[in-house]
Amino acid sequence: MPDDAIPRRGGASVVATRKPTRRPPFPFTAIVGQEEMKRALLIAAVDPSVGGVLAFGDRGTGKSTTVRALAALLPPMSVVQGCPYNCAPDDAAGLCPACTHGGEPQVASVPVPVVDLPLGATEDRVLGALDIERALAEGVKAFEPGLLARAHRGFLYIDEVNLLEDHLVDVLLDVAASGENVVEREGISIRHPARFVLVGSGNPEEGELRPQLLDRFGLSVEVRTPEDIATRIEVVKRRDAYERDPVGFAASWAKEETKLRRQIVSARNRLGKVAVPDGALDRAARLCLALGTDGLRGELTLMRAARALAAFEGDPAVTDHHLRIVAPSALRHRLRRNPLDETASTTRVERALAEVFGG
């Protein structure tokens, strides 16, 4: 890599140009219902290795509101100051080239990135490319990190994920599989870590998701509009209150947010200590067998999600209770389609749960 291609520190694209005047997001804790989606996101926040969350369902149910609310909720993380890739100071092996050469790193605490990948994004901004400004003005090749770099150690959110263009999907699949982004451009080669939790949302009516992309998501949740009148009124009331005074509304939920944030932090600390008894492993395997899910991926995700949930709920070990709760999210998108059985996947998971765990 030529010298001038070393990434800039604190480049313009890295410090998100967030104007302070932007209204605060709708608070996560103020979202009415949608328990499954909220739980899935919290599980991913506790243990990113569950591998992403897909929220598919009705319109106007607050899918993107919930994901954006997550950004404000997450506890901050520590990074090497000014590193465009959010390198973790305590992870010597995972440092980017700039941080490896940089000597003793300065540590900074920053919000966990929840990076939006807007539908109109071009490939160069997703992957990163040469800095156009410096190429023009100085005739210098400087790498300008893209959205994938910004999302490292955080979340990458794609709304209307089923409308994402094919060539971007290919890029994402590649990076998500390797945890590394490689850019070749103008004769230089940049390689940087890009591990992130992929969060997608969409409406199935707009089109099916490519199967390869579906596989990438650890958890898949179905989002429905609440049917009962009291819940619906509450949703409308809170939304209305927020629209009229976003700052005041967010302030009135600040205490709840802090409480939940603490719960996430202590769950992360506990995660390693949560026991996974053989009995739970056995039942998870039997559940996957009964459903005929493909490969080991389902089993692994099921276990990890159950463990994260146990940590979140403060339980010392994974029990049937946790498995039951996370099984639909972890398995429903992994079922083989049976031509003779058109039953909804959720129902099939529930049937198998009843079989394995008893009524």
Residue (31 or 349) nearer to another protein, CB: 31
DSSP conformation class of 120? T
List the one residue from 3, 104, 208, 278 that touches another protein (CB under 8 A).
208
Our finding on whether 3 is near another protein (CB under 8 A) is no
Phi then psi dihedrals of residue 53, to 5 deg: -130, 130
Among 47, 131, 222, 299, binds another protein (CB under 8 A): 131
Using the rule CB under 8 A, is 144 a contact of another protein?
A: yes
Return the residue of 8, 9, 185, 286 that touches another protein, per CB under 8 A: 185
User: How many residues would you count in the chain?
Assistant: 359
d(CA 185, CA 142) in angstroms, rounded, equals 11
DSSP 216: H
What sign does the dihedral 26-31-36-38 (CA atoms) show? positive
Of 73, 32, 37, 34, nearest in space to 55 by CA: 37
Q: Is 268 in the site for another protein (CB under 8 A)?
A: no
d(CA 62, CA 213): 22
| Spatial distance between the Cα atoms of 80 and 193, rounded to a whole number of angstroms | 14
297 is catalytic: yes
| Identified binder of another protein from the candidate list 24, 160, 173, 297, rule CB under 8 A | 160
Range 34-73, binding another protein (CB under 8 A): 58-61, 64
Minimum CB separation from another protein for residue 72, in Å?
15
Select the residue interacting with another protein from 137, 211, 272, 278 (CB under 8 A).
Answer: 137
Q: Does 182 bind another protein (CB under 8 A)?
A: no
Is residue 233 close enough to count as binding another protein by CB under 8 A? yes
Q: What's the N-to-C CA distance of the chain in angstroms?
A: 61
Interaction mask 325-344, another protein, x per CB under 8 A: --------------xx-x--
Interacting span for another protein (CB under 8 A) from 41-49, 115-123, 191-199, 307-315: 115-123
**Which helix (H) or strand (E) is 78 found in, with range?**
strand 77-80
How far apart are alpha carbons 147 and 127 in whole angstroms?
7
Q: Which of 286, 297, 332, 334 is catalytic?
A: 297
Q: What is the spatial distance between Cα 123 and Cα 129, in angstroms, rounded to a whole number? A: 9
Does residue 135 belong to the site contacting another protein (CB under 8 A)? yes
Quickly list H helices, the chain: 35-46, 63-73, 97-101, 123-127, 132-137, 147-151, 166-178, 211-216, 229-244, 246-252, 254-271, 278-291, 297-313, 320-331, 345-357
**Under rule CB under 8 A, how many of the chain's residues touch another protein?**
65
Among 1, 163, 289, 344, which residue interacts with another protein (rule: CB under 8 A)? 163
**CA-CA distance, 146 to 16, in Å (whole number)?**
12
When asked if residue 4 is in the footprint of another protein (CB under 8 A), the reply is no
Q: How far is the CB of 32 from another protein (least distance, A)?
A: 10
SS3 22: coil
Q: Is 57 left (phi over 0), alpha (psi -120 to 50) or beta?
A: left
CB of 267 to another protein, least distance (A): 30
Asked if 299 interacts with another protein (CB under 8 A), we say no
Part of the chain binding another protein (CB under 8 A), chosen from 77-85, 238-246, 287-295, 321-329 = 238-246
- As measured in angstroms, the least distance from the Cβ of 270 to another protein is 36
Token pair for 277: 């008894």
Our CB check for another protein shows the closer of 171 and 264 to be 171
Using CB under 8 A as the binding rule, whether residue 165 contacts another protein is answered as yes
DSSP 3-state assignment of 57?
strand
In the complex, which residues of this chain contact another protein (CB under 8 A)? 12-13, 17-19, 22, 58-61, 64, 116-126, 129-133, 135-137, 139, 141, 144, 146-147, 159-160, 163, 165-167, 184-187, 203, 205-208, 225-227, 229, 232-233, 235-237, 239-240, 244, 339-340, 342
The catalytic site residues sit at 297
